[in-house]
Amino acid sequence: MNRETFNRFVALIYEKSGITLNDNKEALVSSRIAKRMRKLGIANHRDYLRYVLDDTSGEEIVNMLDVISTNVTHFFRESQHFDFVQEKMDLWLRNGDRRFTFWSAGCSSGEEPYTMAMVLREVTKGSNVDLRILATDISTRILARSKDGVYDAKKAESIPRPLRDRYFDREGSGEAAVYSVKETLRSLVTFKRLNLSVVPFPMKGPMDFIFCRNVMIYFDNRVRVNLLGEFHRLLKPGGYLCVGHAESLTGMLGGFKAIRPSVYVKT
Ligand SMILES: C[S@@+](CC[C@H](N)C(=O)[O-])C[C@H]1O[C@@H](n2cnc3c(N)ncnc32)[C@H](O)[C@@H]1O
Q: Which atom of ligand 1 is nearest to the CA of 18?
A: 19
Q: In the prediction, which pLDDT does 60 show?
A: 94
Q: Are 241 and 106 in contact (CB under 8 A)?
A: no
Distance (angstroms) between ligand 1 centre and the Cα of 174 equals: 30
> Ligand 1 center to residue 59 CA distance, Å?
19
Residue whose C-alpha is closest to residue 137's, from 73, 49, 82, 77: 73
In sign, the C-alpha dihedral spanning 20, 24, 28, 34 is: positive
pLDDT confidence bin for 249, thresholds 50/70/90: confident
Residue 223 CA: nearest ligand 1 atom is 19
Q: Tell me the percentage of the chain whose pLDDT exceeds 70.
A: 100
18-70 pLDDT, tens digit per residue, is 999 988 889 999 999 999 999 999 999 999 999 999 998 989 998 999 999 88
Tell me the pairing of strands 189-193 and 178-181: unpaired
Q: Which of 78-82, 177-181, 253-257 has the lowest mean pLDDT?
A: 253-257
3-68 CATH fold: Chemotaxis Receptor Methyltransferase Cher; domain 1 (1.10.155)
% helix, strand, coil for the chain, step of 5: 45, 20, 30
Q: What is the pLDDT of residue 252?
A: 77
* Ligand 1 mean position, distance from CA 85 (Å): 21
Which of 66, 112, 215, when mutated, tests ligand 1's pocket best, judged by the most ligand atoms within 8 Å of its CB? 215
Nearest CA to ligand 1 atom 11: 106
- Split at pLDDT 50, 70, 90, the class of 120 is very high
Q: Please tell me the predicted confidence (pLDDT) of residue 174.
A: 86
Task: Flag whether pLDDT at 150 surpasses 90.
Answer: yes
What integer is the mean pLDDT of 1-10? 92
Compute, in angstroms, the gap from residue 125 CA to the centroid of ligand 1: 30
- Contact between 65 and 194 under an 8 Å Cβ cutoff? The reply is no
Identify whether the C-beta of residue 235 lies closer than 8 Å to the C-beta of residue 241. yes
DSSP symbols for 135-197: EEES-HHHHHHHHHTEEEHHHHTTS-HHHHHHHEEEES-GGG-EEEE-HHHHTTEEEEE--TT
Check residue 183 and give its pLDDT: 97
Strands 99-105 and 207-212: parallel
Reply yes or no on whether the pLDDT at 229 is more than 90.
Answer: yes
Q: How confident is the model at residue 1 (pLDDT cuts 50, 70, 90)?
A: confident
pLDDT of residue 251: 78
80-266 has CATH 3.40.50.150 classification: yes
Q: What is the DSSP letter of 218?
A: G
Confidence of residue 253 (pLDDT cuts 50, 70, 90): confident
State the pTM of this model.
Answer: 0.94
Q: Give the domain ranges of the chain.
A: 3-68, 80-266
Is it true that the peptide bond before 160 is cis, omega within 30 degrees of 0?
A: no
The CA 126 to ligand 1 mean position distance, Å, reads 33
Probe ligand 1: pick from 79, 82, 138, max atoms within 8 Å of CB?
138
In ligand 1, the atom with minimum distance to the C-alpha of 19 is 16
pLDDT exceeds cutoff 90 at 214: yes
CA of 164 relative to ligand 1 center, distance in Å: 24
The rounded percent of the chain whose pLDDT value lies above 90 is: 88
